[in-house]
Structure 1
Amino acid sequence: MACPYLEYRSADGHASFDHERAYCTASSSLVQPMRADICNDRYDLDHERDCEIYRAHAEVE
């Protein structure tokens, strides 16, 4: 299951994109495609285990 903080956006408030881009609501920022692979649990990655942004945000809640 993908990270609950992952969204795909076609704009960031300042500019629009040709393709939707990964956005992390935990860090309030667009993320690089390799980071989105972690968010989507691709390639045997797990967002709960491999993403420091997710872990830090989960500790706060």
Structure 2
Amino acid sequence: MTDQCQYLEYRPLSGTGSSEEGGDSDGAGSQEPRAYCTAADTFVQAMRADVCNLRYGLDPETDCEFYRDAEGLPAASPGEGAEAEFDAGGESGAGNTGGASDTGGDRG
């Protein structure tokens, strides 16, 4: 396996109509390469690029719907991938299961 997803490329944002037209922060503006997913044909956020770069135990095969679509894999099931690890330590039953929501009205 490689160090990153086969569909990940880094491209400059120039010419995409980005909101970074001002370029007043560091002068690099839209010339700094950004994560681009060729499977989805779009730039992706840094957090999604973490999946593409196999960071934090994430894997495109189980954690990315763009990869799964491009490879013809079925949709991830709820207990698959990093989501399953998070759910195992997360909350397991939040919500109001008791009590009635309407307190008014008399029904015989």
Tell me, in whole angstroms, the C-alpha distance in 2 between the residues paired with 1:54 and 1:14.
23
Letter matched to residue 22 of structure 1 = A
TM-score where L is the length of structure 2? 0.50
C-alpha RMSD of matched pairs (Å)? 1.9
Contact 2:13 2:32 in 1 (8 A): no
Deviation at 1:14, TM superposition (A): 3.1
Consecutive aligned runs of 4 or more in structure 1 exceeding 2 Å deviation: 11-16
Which residue pairs with 2:62 in the alignment? 49
Tell me, in whole angstroms, the C-alpha distance in 2 between the residues paired with 1:12 and 1:27.
19
| Structure 1: stretches of 5+ with no match in the other structure | none
Tell me, in whole angstroms, the C-alpha distance in 1 between the residues paired with 2:16 and 2:67.
25
Which residue pairs with 2:52 in the alignment? 39
Question: Percent identity over the alignment?
Answer: 52
Which residue pairs with 1:9 in the alignment? 11
Deviation at 1:12, TM superposition (A): 5.0
Letter matched to residue 59 of structure 1 = G
Considering fraction of residues, name the structure with more strand: 1
Tell me, in whole angstroms, the C-alpha distance in 1 between the residues paired with 2:55 and 2:49.
9
| Structure 2: stretches of 5+ with no match in the other structure | 18-28, 74-108
Larger Rg: 2
Aligned length: 60
Tell me, in whole angstroms, the C-alpha distance in 1 between the residues paired with 2:8 and 2:35.
7
Which is bigger in relative contact order (C-alpha 8 A, separation at least 6)?
1
TM-score where L is the length of structure 1? 0.84
